[in-house]
Amino acid sequence: MTVGQAVGEAERRLAAAAVPSPRVDAELLVGKALDSSRTALYTNSARELSAAESAVLDRLVARRAAREPLAYILGEWGFRRLTLKVDRRVLVPRPETEVVVERCLELLRGLEQPAVLDVGTGSGAIALAIADEHPGARVTAIDVAADALEVARENARVSGIDVDFAEHDVRDGLEGAYDLVVSNPPYVTAEEIETLEPEVRDWEPRIATVGEEHTAAIAAAATAVLVHGGHLVLEVADGRAGEVSNVLARLGYEDIRTGEDLTGRERVLEGRWSSRR
């Protein structure tokens, strides 16, 4: 089988498994099997695969056809300027979370050495991206899942970015003083998760996806650690920005604002904490 035929055959198998973007995924999987870039596949489309390469590709395509997230199969995923290691221990970082980071960086602009706390860091995506793009920031990141923290620490080591990671359950409260608290908490309900695509429902850690009380718990806990004028930035579920705004207002946050993701949905919520209230 040639490289071109391998891409076509992988695409056919992935389409039959109802994978949403079978062509792109096929190209990336053939690229991984051959240790080759997507563009190089086209310049080498007539080359024959060895038996060993075909066997590797067959296993990769079978995994994707079982709807394992592409990011887990590739073992890495792009997030802002970083390439993060990801596997079943962590949520795959999403494009809407890149917008959360963008808003944090805007709020931190002008602060030379802001103290930042990322609650539920998972792969370390938010914490590492903020530390990467605001070099003065002193970033702490917590997660209740020890295995997720292993991934986050590995990502910090590989990228050479300094973040202070700690295992902690936000429901036990927070300590310290921060200019900004940010979180992409678990916010899918137990009923909703069963209706989501298999990649999320069957593969991503439930501790990272399912949670109904986390958003309010983080907003409440953050009031104890935000400095005067500090900000809370939350990623919220599609359709829940209004409800969470009310939670923030009840807790006493001011200047509550929603921001949109790249598809125009209200997915970012922020509030400013005033300790002089």
Q: How many CB atoms lie within 10 A of CB 124?
A: 31
Strand 226-235 and strand 254-260: the pairing is unpaired
Binding piece for ligand SAM, criterion CB under 6 A, among 1-9, 11-19, 119-127, 239-247: 119-127
97 binds ligand SAM (CB under 6 A): yes
Q: Which of 120, 230, 259, 271 binds ligand SAM (CB under 6 A)?
A: 120
Of the candidates 65, 121, 128, 233, which one interacts with ligand SAM according to CB under 6 A?
Answer: 121
Element containing residue 24 per DSSP (H, E): helix 22-34
Q: Which of 170, 175, 185, 275 is nearest to 230 (CA)?
A: 275
Q: Is residue 104 close enough to count as binding ligand SAM by CB under 6 A?
A: no
The rounded radius of gyration (Å) of the Cα atoms in the chain is 21
Among 69, 93, 114, 271, binds ligand SAM (CB under 6 A): 93
Q: Which stretch binds ligand SAM (CB under 6 A): 102-110, 205-213, 222-230, 260-268?
A: 205-213
Binding segment toward ligand SAM, per CB under 6 A, in 11-19, 38-46, 48-56, 142-150: 142-150
Stretch near ligand SAM under the rule CB under 6 A, chosen from 18-26, 54-62, 191-199, 206-214: 206-214
- φ and ψ of 87, to 5 deg: -150, -170
C-beta separation of 141 from 205 below 8 A? no
- Quick one: which of 60, 108, 131, 144 contacts ligand SAM (CB under 6 A)? 144
Does position 31 bind ligand SAM by CB under 6 A? no
Whether the Cβ atoms of residue 112 and residue 136 lie closer than 8 Å to each other? yes
Contact 121/141 with Cβ under 8 angstroms? yes
Paired with 254 in beta bridges are 272
- Residues in contact with ligand SAM by CB under 6 A are 91, 93, 97, 119-123, 125-126, 142-145, 148, 169-171, 184-186, 207-208, 211, 214
